[in-house]
Structure 1
Amino acid sequence: MADTDEVPRPATSFGPPLVARLPETSYFPPPPPGGPRPVKPPNRAGALVGVLIVAVLTVAGMAIARPPTVDGQAMAVPGALTSEGAKAPAGKAKPAPKEVRELETNPLLAAGVVLGEVTCRLPPISRDPAKLETYYKTFASCLADAWKPALEQANEPTLTATVQVTLPETSACGEAPSKNEAVAYYCGGDTTIYAPTEWMLGDAGLERSRHLATMAHEYGHHVQRSSGILSAAAEKMTSPEENSPADKEVVRRIELQANCFGALALAAAAGRGSISNSLANAALADYGRTDDSDTHGNRRNQLKWAKAGFSGKSTASCNTWAAPAQEVG
C-alpha cells in the first residue's frame, strides 16, 4: 500500500491528539493465601495516543494489573546479573537466558546492544476484523524478529507475545477494561496485546502510522516484561499513598521507555518492505500527538524519547532510568 493511502494528517504532526485522553481504573486480582499483599497504586489519568495499557506480572504467586502502566510487585532477586555479569565466563557455557531485575544497569540497556534490521511485509490494512488481526499479528512477528538479537545479546528471554482483536470478559489481568477506558492494552500475565477492532478503528481509522505506533509501543512493554525491567520497576513502587510523586516518576520512566523502544523498532524496519521511511517517520511523529500527562510525561518528552530511539539505533538510547528528573517530567 502506497504512503499516499494514509489518512490525511493534521497540518502539523505535533498538533492536538485525535482523541481525548481516557480515564483509567485499576485492577487487583487477589493474592494467594500466604502470598505478599499488593500495594495499592495511585489512580492515574492520561495515556499515550489514547492507549490504555493494562499489564500484569505474576511475581511470588501474586498478580497485579494497573493501567496504563505495565508493572507489578516483585521480590528482589539476590545476585541479579549486571550488564557485565550477563557475559559467560571464558571456557564456560553461556547461562540460560533469564530476566534481570535491574533498571539503569539492565543488560538490555548496555552499550552496543542493537536490534536487528527487519523487512516487514504487511498485508493491506482493513476494517475487517480478521484481516486487521492478521495485520497486527504480522507486525508483531516482525517486531519479535527485530528484538530477538538484542534480547539474545543481553542473555534475556524472548517471550512470545500474542495479539487478540476481541475483548475477553476476563484474562490473566482480571476483568477487561471498558470501551470508555481503553483503546488497546497489554497484559503481562498472558503476554498478550489486546487491540479490539472497534476501539482501534474508532481511534485511528485506517491511518497505518497510528496503528504501527500504538502496536510498537505496546510491544515495547512486552520487551520490558521479558527483560525484567518491569519487575525491577515494581520494586520501586511501594508507596501506599494515592498519587505518590515518586511512583508517578517510575511510571513515566516506564512509559517513556516504551515510546523509545517502539520508535527503536520502527527504525529497525524503516525503508524496507511495507514500512517506508515516510511511513516510519509518520509513526514517529504520532508519539508527539498527545497531551501532557503526569504519568506519561509532557508532550515534549514523549516525543523526545521516541526520537531518541529512532535516531539512536541502540537500546542504550532508551535508558530512561539514567535520565535526570526533568527529562522524564
Structure 2
Amino acid sequence: MVLGVVVLGGVGLFGVSKALKDNDSYAGPSYSSSSYTPTYGPSASPSVATSQPTRTTTRPTATKPTAPRTTSTPKPKPGPTDTDLVLRNKLYKAGAMKAVSCKESRSRPSNVSGARANYANLLKCLNKSWPALVAKSGARFRPPTVQPFSGTVTTPCGTGNDSGPPFYCGTNETIYMNLTEDIGNYNRYPQEYQKVWARMWMLHQFAHEYGHHVQNLTGILAANHRIRYEAPSQALELEGSRRLELQASCFGDIFIGSNKRSYPITGQSLFQWKWLILHWTDHNNDHGDGVNHRYWATRGFNGRNPSVCNTFAVSSAKVQ
C-alpha cells in the first residue's frame, strides 16, 4: 500500500466494486527556521598611558556569579492512539441524534436536475444533523462538498467512473455521487415500487458516504487507514476495511432513522429500505456481507446514536 490519499467507495447495485485504491496522505508540520546573530559593540583599543597611574586605596568588591535560573518545560500529554480513535472515540458518547424534520425532495431522479435536487436536499439535512454530535466528540465540523458525476471523474484521490459506486475522497472532503447509477435505477423499471426502491437506494448511498465524512472529521478514517497499513496480513487488512464500511452505513442509517417520520420512511419506502440493506453482495470482501450489513444498518436506524455503531469493538464474526 502506498501512502497517498483517501478514497472510500460505496457499494454497487447488487455488489461491491472497489472504485479506487484506498490510501492516506499525511504531511508533517512545517517549521520555519531563523538564525540569530549576536551583535557586538565596537572594540575599544586601550590607550597608551602617558603618565603614571594613580594608586587605588580601596579594594575592589568581588561579586559572586549568579547561576542562571532553570525552568522545567512540562512534557506534552500524549494524544490518543489510533486504537483509541477507532475503539474509544468520543463520538460514541455524543448522545442521540435529534430529528431535523428532513423531508424528501419533491423532485424525482429521472434526470440530472432531479438527481441534483435530491443531493442538495440531503446535503442540507445532513449538515443540520451531524454538527452537534461532531462538536461533542471534540472535533470541528466542516460540511463536505458534493460532486455529481457521469462518465469518468478525476479527483485528488485518483480517477473514478460511473461503472462503479459513489465514493468519498478524504483529501478534498468530497462526496462523489454517481448520476448515471441513480438516474438509471429510477428509469429502468416502470413499476412504482421499483422507483421507490431507487429513491431509497440513493438515500442510503448518500447517507453512507456522508458517514465516511463523519469518520474523517473525528479521526476514525485516518486512524483506520494507519492500522490497516500496519496489518500483518491481507485478511486483517480486509477486516479493517469491513469495520470501516459497516460503520459508515450504521452512521448513515442513524440519520435515516432519526428522520423516518418526516421524510417519511414508512409503507413501501420502509419495505424497500429493509430489502436493500440485506441484499448487499460483497464480492471483494471489503464491505461486509448482507447479513452483517443489515445488522449494523438496523442498529443505526433504531438506535439513532453513534454508540451503537462501534464496529471496532465486536468480534470478527460481526463484521464478515
**TM-score (structure 1 length as normaliser):** 0.68
What SS is found at the alignment partner of 1:59? coil
* Contact in 2 for aligned 1:172/1:190 (Cα 8 Å): yes
**Deviation, structure 1 residue 154:** 1.2
**What do the CA deviations read for 1:191-241 (whole angstroms, capped 9, x no partner)?**
111113223222454421111111111111111111110111011112588
* Contact in 1 for aligned 2:107/2:118 (Cα 8 Å): yes
Query: Identity over the aligned pairs, expressed in percent?
Result: 26
Q: Aligned partners of 1:277, 1:213: CA distance in 2, in Å?
A: 15
1:247 aligned to 232, 237, 240, which one?
237
**Deviation, structure 1 residue 131:** 2.6
**Deviation, structure 1 residue 46:** 9.7
Moved more, 191-200 or 225-234: 191-200
- Correspondence for 1:142: 125
Q: Aligned partners of 2:12, 2:304: CA distance in 1, in Å?
A: 22
Amino acid at match of 1:277: T
**What do the CA deviations read for 1:260-306 (whole angstroms, capped 9, x no partner)?**
1111110111101x333343563344221111442112211011110
- Correspondence for 1:256: 246
- Correspondence for 1:295: 286
Give ranges in structure 1 of 5+ residues lacking alignment: 1-27, 29-36, 62-76, 83-98
- Correspondence for 2:265: 276
- Correspondence for 1:319: 310
**TM-score (structure 2 length as normaliser):** 0.70
* Contact in 1 for aligned 2:112/2:183 (Cα 8 Å): no
Q: Aligned partners of 1:235, 1:228: CA distance in 2, in Å?
A: 11
Q: Aligned partners of 2:84, 2:231: CA distance in 1, in Å?
A: 22
Q: Aligned partners of 2:307, 2:130: CA distance in 1, in Å?
A: 14
What SS is found at the alignment partner of 1:155? coil
- Relative to structure 1, the CA distance from residue 281 to residue 107 in structure 2 (aligned partners, 3 Å threshold; closer, same or farther) is farther
- Relative to structure 1, the CA distance from residue 56 to residue 226 in structure 2 (aligned partners, 3 Å threshold; closer, same or farther) is farther
Q: Aligned partners of 1:118, 1:281: CA distance in 2, in Å?
A: 23
* Contact in 2 for aligned 1:309/1:318 (Cα 8 Å): yes
**Deviation, structure 1 residue 47:** 3.5
- Correspondence for 1:38: 3
- Correspondence for 1:68: none
1:60 aligns with 2:27: yes
1:161-310 equivalent positions in 2, closer than 5 A: 161-167=144-150, 169-174=153-158, 176-180=159-163, 182-203=164-185, 205=187, 206=195, 207-239=198-230, 244-272=234-262, 274-278=263-267, 279-280=269-270, 282-293=272-283, 294-310=285-301
1:153 aligns with 2:136: yes
Give ranges in structure 2 of 5+ residues lacking alignment: 29-75, 188-194
Q: How many residues align?
A: 256
More helix by share: 2
- Correspondence for 1:80: 79
Rg (Cα) greater in structure: 2
- Relative to structure 1, the CA distance from residue 264 to residue 157 in structure 2 (aligned partners, 3 Å threshold; closer, same or farther) is same
Q: Aligned partners of 1:166, 1:179: CA distance in 2, in Å?
A: 7
1:47 aligns with 2:14: no
Q: Aligned partners of 1:296, 1:156: CA distance in 2, in Å?
A: 26
Moved more, 311-320 or 117-126: 117-126
* Contact in 2 for aligned 1:260/1:305 (Cα 8 Å): yes
* Contact in 1 for aligned 2:5/2:25 (Cα 8 Å): no
Amino acid at match of 1:144: N
